[in-house]
C-alpha cells in the first residue's frame, strides 16, 4: 500500500514507522528539509486521489500552498494513526492517556505530573509535544500505565480519532496570531479537545476559563448543527461539559514554606522560579488526586513533600544559567548579575509571566532581551509589565525594530534594537556592568549598604541585576529551535563575561 507524508519532523517519522508495520510499503514524502523529498509547495491533493495522507501538525494552513482538507477521511495524522493501528489493537493492556493543553505551562506541568507519578511508583511517560511522540512511546514502552500527552492547538486541530481518558485545559491566552485569525478561533481549538474524551473520562478546566470553553463549544455547535453527526458529537460534548471538574488553585505563602493543595515544602528546595510554577504544580497534584488518587492515599504528607522537592528543573524555562559577582574593594557592598534563560517563551503572556516572576519587587533591576521570528505577537499586552519591572530592553531578530517602536515612547526605559541575539547579549551585559558600578558608587558615597532591589539599607547586602531573555517569539529566524536559542544564549553569556 502507498501513503503520502506531508512534513517529516518527529510526527512524520513516527507516522511512517506505524504505517510500515501495518502493510504500507510505498511512501511519497513532501518536506523542505529532507533529502530526496519533494518540496511541500509541489503537493497537490488532486494528484493522489484518496491515497492515505498524513499531515504534520507543524504545517501552517495559512501559509502552505494547497494545504489539504483535514476533514476528509483519507487525510490523517500521527495521533489518529496511534488510535487506529496501536490502541485499537491492544486487548489486554491499554495505558491511561491524559491529554494536557493550554497557552502556557504545558511542558512544565507535564514534566511535574510525570515526575510526581514516577516517584509515586507509576510506569508513566510524557510524550506528544514534549519528548517522544505518542506513537514511539506506545511502541517503545508497551507496559506503560499512564501517558501524559502534551497537546498543542495545532495537533488538536487535525485530530479525529484519538481517544483520551482525561483532558486538562490549563489556561487560555492570546497567541499564535500567525495561524489563527481571531483569539476566539485559537481558544476554540483548545476547547475542541473535549471531542476526544471517552465516555467516563475526566475533564479538568481552569475555573477562570470554564465559561469561555462552554460558550465557544455551544457557538460552534450552533454554527455547524447541520453537519453530519453534529448532534451526536454535541450530545457527547454536552455530557462532558456537565461534569467539568473546576481547577481552582489553593496556594499560600509562609516565610520559609509554601503550601499547595494542603501540602507544604521549603521554598529553597523547590527547583522552579515564580508563582506561575506553583500554579503548574497545583495542576499536577490536582490531576493526580482526581484521576489516580490511589497513588497519594498511602503516603504521608512528609513523603509527598520530599517528592515535590525532587522534581527536576527544566532547561530554557526561567532557568538561572549564570551568576556574575562584582565586589567593591572599598566596602562590604557587592552586586551580582543573574542571567535567566527563558527561551521557551514564544508569546506575550510568557513575557509578562517571566517579568512578574523574576523578582518579588515591584520595580526590579531587569534588563530584558526580547524578540525573534516575526509572528504578529501582540507585544502591546506586555507593555504594562515591561514598564513596571524593566529598566532596559534589548530587542533582537526580525521583531527588533517593531518592538523598539512600541517601547521607545516609554521614556524611563532604555530601548535598543539589535540585529542578532549575540549582539543583544553583548550590549545587555555591558549595560548590566555599567549599572552595577553606578549602584556600587552610589552606595559607597552614601555610606550605606544595598538591599536586593537596589534601595538603601543599613546592612551591607548584595544588590541584584537580572538579565532576562524572554523572547516572546519563535526562534526560527536565527536558530533551529528554542533549545538551540537557549543554549546559544548561555554560550554568548559565557563568551561575553570571559575576562571580565
Percent of all residues in the chain with a pLDDT value above 70, rounded to a whole number: 91
Residues in the chain: 500
Q: Please say if the pLDDT value at position 458 is more than 70.
A: no
Q: Tell me: the pLDDT tens digits for 59-104? A: 999 889 899 999 999 999 999 999 999 999 998 889 999 999 999 8
Q: Please say if the pLDDT value at position 301 is more than 70.
A: no
Q: Tell me: the pLDDT tens digits for 128-168? A: 998 899 999 999 999 999 999 999 999 999 999 999 999 99
Residue 82 region, left (φ>0) first, then alpha (ψ -120 to 50), else beta? alpha
pLDDT value of residue 455: 44
Q: Please say if the pLDDT value at position 362 is more than 70.
A: no
State the sign of the Cα–Cα–Cα–Cα dihedral 184, 185, 189, 192: positive
Residue 327: pLDDT band (50, 70, 90) is confident
The CA angle 44-47-50, to the nearest 5 degrees, is 105
Q: Mean of the pLDDT values across residues 456-483?
A: 81
Q: Tell me: the pLDDT tens digits for 174-187? A: 777 778 889 999 99
The C-alpha atoms of residue 398 and residue 400 are separated, in whole angstroms, by 6
Q: Report pTM.
A: 0.86
Mean pLDDT of the chain: 89
**What homologous superfamily does CATH list for 319-497?**
Mur ligase, C-terminal domain (3.90.190.20)
Q: Please say if the pLDDT value at position 171 is more than 50.
A: yes
Specify whether the CB–CB gap between 492 and 467 falls below 8 A.
no
What does the DSSP assignment read for 196-246?
A: GEEEEEEEEEEGGGHHHHHHHHHHHHHHTTTSTTHHHHHHHHHHHHTT-EE
pLDDT value of residue 495: 96
pLDDT value of residue 336: 92
State the sign of the Cα–Cα–Cα–Cα dihedral 365, 346, 309, 259: positive
Q: Tell me: the pLDDT tens digits for 202-242? A: 999 999 999 999 999 988 877 775 555 555 666 778 888 88
pLDDT value of residue 459: 38
The CA angle 155-158-159, to the nearest 5 degrees, is 80
**What homologous superfamily does CATH list for 80-247?**
Mur-like, catalytic domain (3.40.1190.10)
Sheet holding 2-6, edge to edge: 26-30, 2-6, 52-55, 75-76
Sorted by where each begins, the domain ranges of the chain are 2-76, 80-247, 319-497
The C-alpha atoms of residue 57 and residue 439 are separated, in whole angstroms, by 49
The C-alpha atoms of residue 290 and residue 288 are separated, in whole angstroms, by 5
Amino acid at each position: 500500500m502507498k501513503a503520502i507524508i506531508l512534513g517529516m519532523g518527529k510526527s512524520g517519522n513516527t507516522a511512517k514507522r506505524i504505517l510500515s508495520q501495518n502493510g504500507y510499503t510505498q511512501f511519497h514524502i513532501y518536506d523542505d528539509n529532507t533529502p530526496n523529498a519533494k518540496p511541500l509547495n509541489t503537493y497537490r491533493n488532486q494528484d493522489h486521489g484518496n491515497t492515505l495522507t498524513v499531515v504534520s501538525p507543524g504545517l501552517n494552513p495559512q501559509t502552505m500552498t494547497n494545504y489539504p482538507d483535514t476533514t476528509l477521511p483519507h487525510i490523517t495524522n500521527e495521533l489518529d494513526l496511534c488510535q487506529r493501528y496501536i490502541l485499537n489493537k491492544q486487548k489486554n493492556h491499554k495505558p491511561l492517556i491524559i491529554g494536557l493543553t493550554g497557552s502556557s505551562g504545558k511542558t512544565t506541568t507535564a514534566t511535574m505530573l510525570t515526575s510526581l507519578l514516577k516517584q509515586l511508583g507509576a510506569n508513566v511517560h510524557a510524550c506528544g509535544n514534549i519528548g517522544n511522540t505518542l506513537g514511539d512511546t506506545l511502541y517503545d514502552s508497551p507496559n506503560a500505565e499512564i501517558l501524559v500527552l502534551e497537546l498543542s492547538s495545532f495537533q488538536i486541530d487535525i485530530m479525529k480519532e484519538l481517544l483520551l481518558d482525561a483532558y486538562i485545559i490549563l489556561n487560555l491566552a492570546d497567541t499564535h496570531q500567525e495561524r489563527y485569525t481571531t483569539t476566539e478561533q485559537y481558544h476554540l481549538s483548545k476547547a475542541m479537545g473535549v471531542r476526544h474524551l471517552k465516555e467516563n473520562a475526566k475533564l479538568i478546566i481552569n475555573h477562570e476559563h470554564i465559561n469561555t470553553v462552554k460558550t465557544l463549544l455551544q457557538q460552534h455547535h450552533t454554527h455547524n448543527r447541520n453537519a453530519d453527526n453534529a448532534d451526536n458529537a454535541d450530545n457527547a460534548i454536552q455530557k462532558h461539559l456537565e461534569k467539568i471538574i473546576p481547577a481552582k488553585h489553593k496556594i499560600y505563602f509562609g516565610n520559609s514554606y509554601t503550601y499547595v493543595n494542603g501540602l507544604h515544602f521549603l521554598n529553597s528546595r523547590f527547583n522552579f522560579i515564580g508563582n506561575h510554577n506553583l500554579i503548574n504544580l497545583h495542576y499536577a497534584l490536582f490531576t493526580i488526586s482526581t484521576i489516580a488518587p490511589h497513588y497519594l492515599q498511602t503516603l504521608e504528607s512528609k513523603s509527598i513533600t520530599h517528592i515535590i522537592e525532587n522534581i527536576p528543573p527544566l532547561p530554557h524555562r526561567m532557568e538561572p544559567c549564570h551568576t556574575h559577582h562584582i565586589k567593591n574593594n572599598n566596602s562590604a557592598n557587592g552586586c551580582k548579575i543573574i542571567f535567566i534563560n527563558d527561551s521557551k517563551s514564544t508569546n506575550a503572556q510568557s513575557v509578562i509571566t517571566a517579568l512578574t516572576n523574576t523578582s518579588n519587587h515591584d520595580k526590579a533591576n531587569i534588563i530584558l532581551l526580547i524578540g525573534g521570528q516575526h509572528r504578529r505577537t501582540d507585544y502591546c499586552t506586555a507593555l504594562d509589565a515591561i514598564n513596571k519591572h524593566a529598566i532596559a530592553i534589548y530587542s533582537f531578530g526580525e521583531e527588533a525594530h517593531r518592538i523598539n517602536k512600541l517601547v521607545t515612547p516609554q521614556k524611563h526605559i532604555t530601548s535598543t534594537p539589535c540585529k542578532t541575539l549575540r549582539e543583544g547579549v553583548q550590549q545587555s551585559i555591558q549595560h548590566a556592568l555599567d549599572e552595577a558600578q553606578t549602584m556600587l558608587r552610589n552606595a559607597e558615597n552614601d555610606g550605606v549598604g544595598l538591599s536586593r532591589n537596589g534601595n538603601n539599607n543599613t546592612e551591607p547586602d548584595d544588590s541584584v541585576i537580572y538579565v532576562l531573555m524572554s523572547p516572546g517569539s519563535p526562534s526560527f529566524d536565527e536558530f533551529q529551535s528554542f533549545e538551540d536559542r537557549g543554549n546559544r544564549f548561555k554560550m554568548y553569556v559565557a563568551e561575553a563575561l570571559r575576562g571580565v
